Structure 1
Amino acid sequence: MCVTPFIDVHSHVTPLAFPDAPSAESRSRWPCMRCEAGVHTVMMGDTPFRKLDTRSWETGRRIEDMDRDGVDMQVLSPMPELLSYWLPRDDAAVMCDWTNHQIAEMIAAAPRRFRGLGAVPLQDPAAAAKALRRVKSEFGLSGVEIGSNINGQMLGDPAFDPFWEAAAAEGMAVFVHALHPIAAKPLPPNPLFTAFALFPVDVAMAAASLLLAGVPDRFPGLRIGFSHGGGALASLLGRLDTGWDHTDGYGGKLVRRPSEAARGLFYDSNIYAPEQLRHLCTSVAPGQVFAGTDYPYDIMQTAPAAFVRDLGLDADAHASLSVGAASAFMGEDLIEASAR
Structure 2
Amino acid sequence: MKKIALEEHFVTPDLVGYGSSTSNIAQPQAWADASRRLLDFTEERLPEMDLHGIDMEVLSLNSPGIQAETDPAVAIAKTKTVNDFLAGIMAERPDRFSGFAALPLQDPQAAAKELERAVKDLGMKGALVNAHTNGMYLDDPKLRIVWEMAEGLDVPLYLHPANGVDTAHVLSGHPELVGPMWSWGIDTSTHALRLIFGGVFDDFPNAKLLLGHMGEGLPYVLWRMDSRWGFHNHHGIELAKGKPSEYLRENLYVTTSGVCSPAPLLCALLALGSEHILFGTDYPFETIEEAAKFLDNAPISEADRANISYRNAEKLLRLGDDANASSVLATSAK
Q: TM-score, normalised by structure 2?
A: 0.84
Partners of 1:12 and 1:112 in 2: CA distance? 18
* Residue 256 of structure 1: how far off its partner (Å): 3.8
Contact 1:203 1:227 in 2 (8 A): no
- Which residue in 2 is equivalent to 1:322? 309
- Which residue in 2 is equivalent to 1:252? 238
For the pair 1:6 / 2:10, whether they are aligned, the reply is no
Partners of 1:331 and 1:210 in 2: CA distance? 25
Partners of 1:142 and 1:116 in 2: CA distance? 6
- Which residue in 2 is equivalent to 1:216? 201
- Which residue in 1 is equivalent to 2:275? 287
Secondary structure of the equivalent of 1:266?
Answer: strand
For the pair 1:181 / 2:164, whether they are aligned, the reply is yes
Out of 296, 303, 310, the residue aligned to residue 284 of structure 2 is: 296
For the pair 1:198 / 2:195, whether they are aligned, the reply is no
Contact 1:93 1:121 in 2 (8 A): yes
Secondary structure of the equivalent of 2:300?
Answer: coil
Q: Which shows bigger deviation, 49-58 or 84-93?
A: 49-58
* Residue 115 of structure 1: how far off its partner (Å): 0.7
- Which residue in 2 is equivalent to 1:311? 298
- Which residue in 1 is equivalent to 2:17? 43
After TM superposition, list the pairs within 5 Å mapping 1:113-152 onto structure 2: 113-152=96-135
- Which residue in 2 is equivalent to 1:238? 223
Does the C-alpha gap of structure 1 residues 312 and 101 become closer, same or farther in structure 2, counting only changes over 3 Å?
A: same
Partners of 1:285 and 1:214 in 2: CA distance? 24
After TM superposition, list the pairs within 5 Å mapping 1:55-204 onto structure 2: 56-182=39-165, 184=167, 187=172, 190=175, 193-204=178-189
* Residue 83 of structure 1: how far off its partner (Å): 2.7
For the pair 1:277 / 2:283, whether they are aligned, the reply is no
* Residue 82 of structure 1: how far off its partner (Å): 1.7
Please tell me the residue identity of whatever aligns with 1:5.
Answer: K
Specify every segment of 5 or more residues in structure 1 that has no aligned partner in the other structure, as ranges: 19-30, 32-41
Secondary structure of the equivalent of 1:172?
Answer: coil
Partners of 1:258 and 1:157 in 2: CA distance? 19
Please tell me the residue identity of whatever aligns with 1:6.
Answer: K
Does the C-alpha gap of structure 1 residues 5 and 335 become closer, same or farther in structure 2, counting only changes over 3 Å?
A: farther
* Residue 238 of structure 1: how far off its partner (Å): 2.6
Partners of 1:236 and 1:157 in 2: CA distance? 25
* Residue 9 of structure 1: how far off its partner (Å): 0.6
Partners of 1:45 and 1:5 in 2: CA distance? 32
Please tell me the residue identity of whatever aligns with 2:207.
Answer: L
Higher strand share: 1
Please tell me the residue identity of whatever aligns with 2:147.
Answer: W
- Which residue in 2 is equivalent to 1:261? 247
- Which residue in 2 is equivalent to 1:36? none
Partners of 2:233 and 2:147 in 1: CA distance? 25
* Residue 47 of structure 1: how far off its partner (Å): 7.4
* Residue 289 of structure 1: how far off its partner (Å): 0.7
Q: How many residues align?
A: 313
Q: TM-score, normalised by structure 1?
A: 0.82
Contact 2:37 2:284 in 1 (8 A): no
Please give the per-residue CA displacement for 1:104-153, whole angstroms capped at 9, x wherever unaligned.
11111110111100111112222211221111233221111102223333
Contact 1:11 1:75 in 2 (8 A): yes
Higher helix share: 2
- Which residue in 2 is equivalent to 1:38? none
Does the C-alpha gap of structure 1 residues 46 and 281 become closer, same or farther in structure 2, counting only changes over 3 Å?
A: closer
Please tell me the residue identity of whatever aligns with 2:260.
Answer: Y
Contact 2:3 2:54 in 1 (8 A): yes
- Which residue in 1 is equivalent to 2:212? 227
RMSD of aligned Cα (Å)? 2.7
